Amino acid sequence: MNVIIFGCGRTGAALARMLSSNGDEVTVIEREPEHLARLGHDHGCRVIIGDGLDDDVLLDAGIRDADAFIASTRGDNTNLMAAQVAQTRYGVSMVCAKVNDPDRAREYRKMGVFSITPNLLTAGMMRDWLLGRDFLPIDAYNKVEGEG
Amino acid sequence: MGFHLTKMLLKEGHEVLLVEKDRHTYQQLEPQLGSAVMLGDGCETRVQQEAGFARADCVAAVTGEDEDNLIVCQMAKNTWGVERAIARVNNPEREALFKELGIDGVVSATEILFNLVEQEISAGSIVPLAALRRGKIEVIEAVLTGRSPAVGRRVRDLNLPPGSNIVWVVRGEHGLIAEGDTELEENDLVVILAPVEHAADLRKVLESGH
């Protein structure tokens, strides 16, 4: 699988390493060179220093041939915008944004943008661990209280 | 920019609410705007609800960050059904993208300047950017040539026609909020909110003669 990851924070870096050791083709886009240190050594990823909202950078990263695009910067709005560029403009089939605000995530889910909300996921998994339950499919964790 | 826009619209009798995220900025605006300003992040649904997005006729996102402006406008339209959503873009290349993503009202100061150059309109022409409130207030841009009497003077010292306000100055690659003390320079692109009937007077103040 050919994956582009925009944002080399803890999430992006960890994902990049996991996919790379799984044999997938990973390209990481990151604005700040010092964050790339998180990738460690022998990460096997292609690295681009630039803005993942910039068309030139995305094209250079190979977005036209990408199977997946992950937006994992620190900013919800940046991630939501990048995810939409990948989906709407470039037709990437698997797109996921990291969105910390659960309400915003829900609104954008309705607009067709898939996202994962880390705090909800963490809370849900901790709950299931505490109650001795099996873990659930991802959509169950993404839900805001009272969401259908 | 949001502050000046708010003041002008209030003056015209509109119901306006300015939503400001930064506490320090809010504290500076509150004495002047009172209940017309609210502290909060306009991208959060809770803030949007408190601000009354549900009954707004128009939402204008004029922050310095394109992605924030996009999200506010998309949520205004999709979550709250607001009819008119206007986004400011700081990076002109984003204009097409915003339209692709459903935001039809997009304002880009840099883009207008570029178009002026492209169309070879003589520098110093006053170009109306948009008409607000059924044509009574205009958003106007003017580039100050070397001959402009406004060059070298402070905004507060200009003899602008009544009701006109310079809200924004594009200098080189930067945008500045126009304060009373802002000194204008040659090649500055000034963005002005003015009642439509004063366009000719503005021309006099900024271009030639007095």
CA distance linking residue B131 with residue B140, whole number of Å = 9
Domain range for A109 is 2-117
What CATH number did the domain enclosing A43 receive? 3.40.50.720
Task: Look at A75 and B93 and tell me if their CB atoms are within 8 Å.
Answer: no
Would you say residue A144 lies in a domain?
no
Query: Mutate which of A31, A77, A99, A117 to test chain B, going by most B C-beta atoms within 10 A?
Result: A77
pLDDT of B115 above 70: no
User: Which residues in chain B have their CB less than 8 angstroms from residue A104's CB?
Assistant: 43-45, 71, 75
What confidence category does residue B104 fall into, taking pLDDT thresholds of 50, 70 and 90?
Answer: confident
| SS3 label, residue A109 | helix
Q: In whole numbers, what is the pLDDT of chain B averaged over residues?
A: 83
Q: Are strands B189-195 and B137-143 parallel, antiparallel or unpaired?
A: antiparallel
Number of Cβ within a 10 Å radius of residue B128: 13
User: Where in chain B are all domains bearing CATH 3.30.70.1450?
Assistant: 112-206
> Does the pLDDT of residue A34 top 90, yes or no?
yes
* Structural domain count, chain A: 1
Report CB contact under 8 Å: A75, B67: yes
Nearest C-alpha in B relative to A108:
B75
Mind listing the pLDDT tens digit for each residue in A104-121? 999 999 999 999 999 999
Domain contains A14: yes
Q: How far off is chain B from A130, nearest CA to CA, in Å?
A: 31
pLDDT band at A123 (very low <50, low <70, confident <90, very high): very high
Residues of chain B with CATH 3.40.50.720: 2-107
Considering CB atoms only, which of B45, B79, B101 is closest to A84?
B101
Q: Is residue A145 in some structural domain?
A: no
Report the alpha-carbon distance of residue B77 to residue B83 in Å, rounded: 7
**Length of chain A in terms of residues written:** 148
Chain A environment of B70 (Cβ under 8 Å): 77, 81
Is residue A123 domain-resident? no
CB A82 within 8 A of CB A75: no
User: Can you tell me the ipTM of this complex?
Assistant: 0.91
pLDDT, one tens digit per residue, over B149-176 is 888 888 888 888 887 888 888 888 888 8
- Given a cut of 70, whether residue B102 has pLDDT beyond it is yes
- CATH code that applies to domain B2-107: 3.40.50.720
| Range B112-206 has CATH code 3.30.70.1450 | yes
> Which pLDDT band, with edges at 50, 70 and 90, does B209 fall under?
very low
Q: Are A127 and B70 in contact (CB under 8 A)?
A: no
Predicted TM-score (pTM) of the model is 0.72
